[in-house]
Amino acid sequence: ANTYPGDDGLSLYAACDGEVMLRQLRIDVVPQFVHEGTVPAGDLSIRVDTPVFITGSVEPGACVEAEGDVYIQGTVREAEVVSRSGGITVMGNVAGALGRPSVLRAAGEVDCRSVRYGRIKTAGDLRLHAEAWRSTLAVGGNLYLDGQVEFMLLDVVLDIAGGIFPRMETRIEAAPVSE
């Protein structure tokens, strides 16, 4: 869907902006809004009925709201990001300030690096790759941590429907070789 063949019969072109997917040996382009660069500070809002891909960060005061998944290559600073029917991935940090938290709300999974002065509400799982500090985390599924609980959750209010799963350190020691 959303593709058409080239005149040479060997090329396939996208009929819209989006994500290329291979499904049942068929190439589809799933419509997706792509915002090149950073969503600037201020009252700028992106509200779309498709998934969103942002190649930069989301700056203070901005709002991003999408019907599908939201993928942000940068950070979210004192902003709001909402996915009404999908998940949110933030490759960088989610950073608010005292009295001005960054807010992430998703119907699906949320995946981010660290959260400082943030409010995250997800109906799915939360995957946290660094610490959460002075934040509120409401998780409808499980909380997955890339470290130990005592180092990852600092002054955090938790509401978790599932469990907390820290990454476990595994040590393998070689046995001495006897001759």
Chain mean pLDDT for the chain: 92
pLDDT, residue 66, reads: 97
Average the pLDDT over 49-53 and give the result.
Answer: 95
Show Cβ contacts of residue 111 under 8 Å, excluding neighbours closer than 6 positions: 87, 88, 89, 90, 126, 127, 129
- ∠ Cα 104 108 112 (to 5°): 50
Report d(CA 15, CA 35) in Å as an integer: 18
C-alpha to C-alpha distance for 110 and 69, rounded to whole angstroms: 10
Phi and psi dihedrals of 151, rounded to 5?
-100, -15
Mean pLDDT of 100-106: 98
Q: What is the pLDDT of residue 59?
A: 97
Q: What confidence tens digit (pLDDT) does each residue in 65-90 have? A: 999 999 999 999 999 999 999 999 99
Between CA 50 and CA 105 the distance in angstroms is: 16
Please tell me the pTM assigned to this model: 0.86
Q: Is the separation of the CB atoms in 80 and 92 below 8 Å?
A: no
Q: Give the tens place of pLDDT for each residue, 116-147.
A: 999 999 999 999 999 999 999 999 999 999 98
